[in-house]
Structure 1
Amino acid sequence: MSIEEGSKFQISQGIQDFFNAAESFTVISNNGKTVQFKLGDGKGSGAMPIEHLHYLLKKSNLTIIPNKRNLLNTESEEQIG
Structure 2
Amino acid sequence: MQIETGMKYQISQSVKGNFNSADSLTVTTNNGMTIQFTLEDGKGHGSMPLDHLSYLLKRSSLTPVTSNKRALLSTESEEKIG
TM-score, length-scaled by structure 1: 0.91
Corresponding residue for residue 75 of structure 2: 75
| More deviation, 65-74/8-17 | 65-74
Corresponding residue for residue 36 of structure 1: 36
1:27 and 1:7 mapped to 2: Cα distance? 6
2:74 and 2:51 mapped to 1: Cα distance? 29
Unmatched 5+ stretches in structure 1: none
Number of aligned residues? 81
Corresponding residue for residue 48 of structure 2: 48
- 4+ aligned runs moved over 3 Å, structure 1: 78-81
Corresponding residue for residue 23 of structure 2: 23
What is the deviation of 1:76? Answer: 2.3
Q: 1:57 to 1:78 in 2, by over 3 A?
A: closer
2:78 and 2:32 mapped to 1: Cα distance? 32
1:61 aligns with 2:61: yes
Alignment identity in percent? 49
What is the deviation of 1:68? Answer: 2.1
CA contact (8 A) 1:7 1:67 kept: no
Q: Residue type of the partner of 1:26?
A: T
TM-score, length-scaled by structure 2: 0.90
Residue 75 of structure 2 aligns to a residue whose secondary structure is helix
Q: Deviations over 1:18-65 (max 9, x none)?
A: 101101000000000000000001101000000000000111111011
2:60 and 2:77 mapped to 1: Cα distance? 29
Unmatched 5+ stretches in structure 2: none
